[in-house]
Amino acid sequence: MIKRYTMIGLTGALLSAQMFTGAAFAGEPTPSQQELINEINMLKNIVMDLNERLAGAEEMLMMTLEMKEQQDTQNIEVIDVIDELDERLSDAEKHTALDRISMGVELETQFNSLDMDVASIPAATQIQINQMALAGAQFSAAELNQFQQTLRQQGIENQNIKNSSLFTSRIRLDLRGKPTRNLSFVGRLSAAKVFGDSTGVKWYNGGPNAVTMDGNVHSTGSDSALRVERAFFTYFGEMGEIPYHFSLGRRPAIGGAPTEFSTSSVVGGSPMAHGINWQFDGASLGFKLADLTGIPGLDFKLCWGVGFESGVGSGNSYSMSYNSDVDDMQFAGWIANLYEDEDTKIVNMYAHAMDITDGFTGLVVMPFTLTGQDFNGDGRYDQYQMNANTGGFISRTEPTANIGSIDLVTLLGQSKIGDVGFFVDLALSHARPSGISANPMMQFLGTDALLNSNGEQNDRTGYSVWAGLKTELPWQATIGVEYNWGSEYWISFTGGEDNPAGSKLATRGSVYEIFYNHPMVEGKLILSVGAQYYDYEYSGSGNPMGAPVKIADLNSLDAFLPVTDTMWNYYMNLVYRW
């Protein structure tokens, strides 16, 4: 109808214009009827063409509206399906979908070749002591004093001890889960063993790792038992504008920075390894301060832990005693990440260990047993009896006294320039003795106090330096060197270090190391080759009991248990990580 009216309207307008112009300009020539018909037909064709274009546009508009309506319908159907699935997702289904545990595996096979020079008592004196033990010798405190004086006047014998091939293996199963946005779980099960040995209990050789204890069994144990190395939950929240996290459980205390520097791995523990590389149980409360302060990577974490439990439930012989003087060993401190970006980090750690005990609950095979009797209650034994352990029986050790406190401070600076990485780690320890061990063996040897002997109670301050340098090679391998040194009274909690040669970070003296790491099979298999040279300056590295003695000044009493002078440790590790 619109098209028809448009045609009539145009024709009428043309005729009216023609009549008007004819009346107004009568003197001009009048167009013929045929000319008018031609003009009308031309206008008709124009109008028809316009009508066809308009019809096409209307058709496209209708198709677009239909498609939009169909899309809206589909969107509504998708939303309905999502709502239906959300309604159908029961609590059990949510548990299945969210509360999953991811697992990682690390399998390490290690080869070590050890060559050490050791100071020990003369063979004739050793025979005499064995005869005393076999005879079940009894002696008074005065006779012990005479025996000690005799040993102090005797020199030592130097021995060279080698083990050209020692193979060990360790497996770690890492477990992780995050059921909600603000709650996570981390666990690790581990087992370690020496090739050809699954006893798990060592013969006592005087070293701090000779006793299998809670803090070192995960790295130096050898019974193939799968144990809980770490297991803790972490809750994440916010205090105003400050994010925080709280964690409780078996702590990730082994493999802290910068141990990853020489192993081509990631940081495996929270405490700084220079001061603490020892498993324990406890809690932490950390705060992320980078956004608030504008300092990259700044965070601060308060830490607390239990190193020894003395009361009911611990299983110690005095746990049910009303007059026991042995208190729990605990410690507290902080870890402050002062600065961290992609290449550089600066970290400070402080720890205060209180009520330190003269040992930990553990298992060991002693060459002989020594018991004592205190007749007057002054804490000193008046009568001793020695018996040989001819049956190789396992002894259960436990602390006998609290002997003081230790403060530890470390400061790590680590960075990278191009392909070259480096770090410097400084540490200080300060020991405050406040008690004497009631262990008969320690009184027999005179090593009865915290970094003191024969009951002395002098404060001791120690220092340590640890530094490293490495470079990346074109084929993605790394090669580097490390050096660490500890002073006469340096003491740390690093007995959990995975090293059959003993903790290099506990050394009172120097350790030189060169290492090479070569990743293979898309980085999932890593070959590490290296060598360490230990040059001890003082005895008792890593042992808090007794005053250190300069290696050059050792006598038979000091070397009653073997004392290492120098040692080479050549190693090759093959680590599978996935």
How far is residue 559 from each of residues 104, 148, 284, 293, measured CA to CA in Å?
Answer: 45, 12, 41, 55
* Domain assignment of residue 240, yes or no: yes
Mean pLDDT of 174-186: 93
Strands (E), 457-505: 460-472, 478-486
368 with 299, same domain: the answer is: yes
* Domain assignment of residue 550, yes or no: yes
Residue 92: per-residue pLDDT: 56
* Domain assignment of residue 143, yes or no: yes
67 with 206, same domain: the answer is: no
Of 260, 278, 267, 275, which is closest to residue 468 (Cα–Cα)?
260
487 with 384, same domain: the answer is: yes
Token representation of residue 334: 């902080």
How far is residue 110 from each of residues 105, 191, 504, measured CA to CA in Å?
Answer: 16, 14, 17
69 with 144, same domain: the answer is: no
- pLDDT of 206 above 90: no
CATH value at residue 246: 2.40.160
440 with 321, same domain: the answer is: yes
Name the pTM for this structure.
Answer: 0.82
Mean pLDDT of 323-337: 92
Whether the upstream peptide bond of residue 258 has omega within 30° of 0, thus cis, is yes
Tell me: the pLDDT tens digits for 527-569? 999 999 999 999 999 999 999 999 999 999 999 999 999 999 9
* Domain assignment of residue 88, yes or no: no
* Domain assignment of residue 521, yes or no: yes
**Strand ranges across the sheet with 383-388:** 138-140, 383-388, 368-373
* Domain assignment of residue 109, yes or no: yes
Mean pLDDT of 32-53: 76
108 with 73, same domain: the answer is: no
Domain count, the chain: 2
67 with 182, same domain: the answer is: no
433 pLDDT band, cuts 50/70/90, is very high
15 pLDDT band, cuts 50/70/90, is very low
Neighbouring CB atoms inside 10 A of 421's CB total: 19
149 with 270, same domain: the answer is: yes
Q: Which domain holds residue 387?
A: 103-577
* Domain assignment of residue 481, yes or no: yes
How far is residue 74 from each of residues 64, 68, 88, 97, 492, measured CA to CA in Å?
Answer: 15, 10, 21, 27, 68
* Domain assignment of residue 93, yes or no: no
**Which residue, 38, 63, 79, sits at the end of a domain?**
79
